[in-house]
Structure formats: structure tokens, C-alpha cells
Structure 1
Amino acid sequence: MDGTREMKDSKQLISNIQAQYPRLSKGQKLIAQYILSNYDKVAFMTACKLGETVGVSESTVVRFANALGYSGYPKLQDALQELIKNRLTTVQRVEMANEYSDDTTILNKVLKSDIDNIRGTLEEVDEKAFEEASNKLLNARKIYILGMRSSFTVAQYLGFYLDIILDSVHIIRMDMGDAFEQIVRINENDVVVAISFPRYSKKSFEVVSYAKEKGAHVISLTDSIFAPVASIADNVLLVKSNMASFVDSLVPALSISNALIISVGMKEKEEIKEHFDDLEKIWKMYSVYE
């Protein structure tokens, strides 16, 4: 099955395991039983680790994933993560990080996770959606960038650089009054970039819904087609953010932001060269840099 189908089928994963159970081999039934009781743990286990825990071989785990209709264990794991990622409390996510036994392990696991997330993002990001998003940003009357809680870091980064390239870039800030007041003049000539990751902010969805009703073009930078903002977006840029801990990996989101900035910048190459020339003079005049 293709990637989109696999993601959509994650909602039926548990019932699918139950339906397939009578036809599974003895070893596969052990895996099924363990997943049904511990799917929140399995979502962040490697095939090897799951096999060791259950007492079967890694190849049995892979065949189990195939028996459920998945192209491989990573796709089954993606489906499990879709099931749980927005339901986990922070306390539960801390408990899941029990494999982070020491600082060296933490360093290696976190960096490897970020590498895997970037690789997964590169494989799955919609290139046509990216191209349209870039063009919409370039031609927008005004750009509103929204990211709440930890996502605000990505919003601020994207907004900082787009503001150098383009006019009328506005980062929606919670410390600058109500979010709705900041976008009350939004219309069909404007673009909203909504950055949202688990646990998804209810307020973000409400603000984006309002912008959509006013006719604005919505670009969502999120981790799942099931994310609330993705359901109303015109362009969905999916990024992996899996991290078996109480924080999410925002590295791929920053990478996609970099790509958007550079894409827009290259289309405005001559204009931004003149702009940067002016900035260099200002920076030198006021000793901004050492």
C-alpha cells in the first residue's frame, strides 16, 4: 500500500490486528498480543527491540508488519505513532524515554533521531505543495506566520528571514494581544503559514480556521495529515518530528523553513542583493557586528 494509505489506515490499526489475529503464526500472535496491550511503547521500539521483548526474531516482526499490509516495519511503526502522538501527556512521554540511560546515549540517540527525521521528511514531503507554497509567499499581500508554544521557535525563525526578503511579514505573537485581533484584516490576498506539532494547539486551529473563512491561503507545516491544521490547509508540508521523549524534533521543520526562505529568496535575488547592501551599510555604521 502507498504511504498516504498507510497513514490513513493507522486509525483502523487495532481493529485490523484483531481481525488478522486468527490467521497469524504463533510468533506473530505473540507480537499482536504485546502490541494490543502496549502499543504506546511499541510505537518507539525498533523491530529488533520488539523481537527481543516478545521473544521472536526480527524477521518475524517484519513478516508481522507485512501480514497487516504494511510495506515494512517502519510503516507499521508510523501507524502506531499516529495513534498515540496526540494522546500522550508530558509525564507519559518522560516515562517513554527510559532508554536514555546516560549522556553519551542521549547524545547519540537524539542526533540519530534527528537524522532519521530529516531523511523521512525528504522522502515524503510533497514537492508540488512546496513549490506552490513558495510562490504563494512570494506573491502574497501579507504573510502571517503562526506557531504556538514550542512551534513559535520555528515561526520566529521563518518570519525573521522572510521579513528580510519580503514586505509585510507578521509573526502572530501571544504577547502582543489576542491572535484574532492581529489577523482581523486578513483577506484572500494573504497567506497564513501555520506551524503545528503534537500536542496540537486548539488555539492554532481556531485562528487558522478564521483565516480560512476570510479567504486566506493556508500553508501548514506539520507532522501528519491528521493534524487539525492540515485538514483545512491548501498546501501541507509534512515533516517528521518523532522523538521518544518529552520534546519533539523541530530540526526537520527548521530545514523546511530554510528551504522555503532560500526558494523565495532566489526568486527575489536582485532585489535582496540591493536590500542586503543597504543592511551592510547600516550594520557597519552602527557597529552591529564585531
Structure 2
Amino acid sequence: MNLKRKVEIAVISDVHLGTFGCQAKQLLTYLNSIEPKKIILNGDIIDIWQFKKRYFPKSHLSVIKKIMDFAANGTEVIYITGNHDEMLRKFTDTEIGNISIVNKLVLDLDGKKAWFFHGDVFDISIQNAKWLAKLGGWGYDLLILLNSVVNWGLEKLGKERYSLSKRIKNSVKGAIKYINDFEKVATDLAIEKGYDYVVCGHIHQPKMLIKENKHGKTTYLNSGDWVENFTALEYQFKRWKVYNYNNDKLSPFFADEELKDMDVKDLIAAITIVEQPKKKKSK
């Protein structure tokens, strides 16, 4: 019997299910090693952009089944939309059992406020993102809308959608500047809004650091990805940590025995059956 670590919150992002780069087996190992009260999927979990490849192996289906099992067993699953799964934004604020879909999230964690979002909306223009997001509570939603319109327009013109990965690969110096600008915009906004933590994904750079300006300070966290870094964020005992699969894995198993034994047809059938969440016992 494998012991599972109890975690108050687990945050994963940039899994890119449906692409050759996705390392689903490593992710399954991680998910099978924890028992979270809440799991936050911070964008780009399913890569809808690249679905035309018709590539979706058993291990990728197993990840979806595992997440659904979490929800069926009482774990709150919050899916924050990203750019590669932006089609889900039309279902924002939808709730099905223990699963909800949102564009952004604010949580109270032991008296401190945490702001969660994927971060792709800053790609439109790092320079202009700050003042747009400052326009009240709907400013960030306006950025999301603009981002969708930009990609829609590119598609209509027969051009490729905006790709951050290509931009980063163009130049190391440009990548460093982009990442620094991204972190500055995110943390400046968080400080302005009075958030103690700002939690992002998108740039595939796992990190935890304290950022400070003349108005205050905040803790910046990024969950990294499951394509190259194999990282997640965990919150437990009032503290955040960056989980790194290569350094922190505690067990040699790869997936639940049940998932290993199921064939692809059984997995698809299991995923499409809507399971009712277990009722919580009243105190």
C-alpha cells in the first residue's frame, strides 16, 4: 500500500494533454502520490489548439480520469482557463459537482489573499496589460476577451495563433526580458490589489519569490509545467512550496493499478460517465 501525502492545495498548469511534449506518466505518478483537499488546474491542461493531430494516448486519458476521481471523492477541482484551452472560457462560472471552471480565482488562505490566473492575457502587450487589468474587477476579463479576439483575427487572416513558446525560443535575451516583465506586471498588480500571493502558470518557469515595490510586497508563485520541468505548487501548514518531480518523488509507482489495467475504451467510458460527488457528512 502506497502512502499518500495530504496536501491542502495542489496547483498544476501547462500539462498540454494531446501533444507529444506532454509527460503524462510523470504527472500520474505525482497525482497518485497526493491526497489534496483542493486541486487547481491553472490553464493549458488540455491543448485544444493542437487537437488536429488526433493524438491522445491512454496515459493522457488516465490523467483526466484521475482528476475526475479526485472530484468524485470529495476534492474540489477548479479549472482556470488558459490560452491553449481558451474554448472552455465560454463555460466560465460553470459548476458540475465538485468541478468548476473560472477565468481567475481569489482564495483566503489562513488570513492571506491569494490571486490565481493563468497569465496568457499579458501576452497582448506587457506594457499595456497593467492599466487594462486595473480597470476595476472586469479589467482582467477584458484582457481575456482581447486575447481571444486577437487569435480569432489571426486565424481569419490565415496566420498562426500567437505562440509564447516560439517567442521565447527566438532569443534567450528576449526570453529573460519577457519573463522579468511578466513577473513585474503580475506582482505590481497583486500589490496594488492587496493580494499576498499571486499564482500563475503560462511561462513554464517554476518559481517562488517575494517581490517588493514602494507600495508593498507580495509572493510570486509559478507552477511551471509538465512538458520540461515537471513541477507543481503545494500549500500545506500555511506554507507554499514548489514540488519538483525529479527531486521530490517519493515512490516508484506510475499510476493507480486500476488505471494501469484499464484499456482506452474503458477509460473513455469512465470519463464520460458523470459521477455524483460523495455527500459530505454534516457536523
TM-score scaled by structure 2? 0.25
State the TM-score, normalizing by the size of structure 1: 0.25
- Answer 1 or 2: which has greater helix percent: 1
The higher relative CO (CA closer than 8 Å, separation ≥ 6) is in 2
Q: Which has the larger radius of gyration?
A: 1
Whichever structure has more strand as a proportion of its residues is: 2
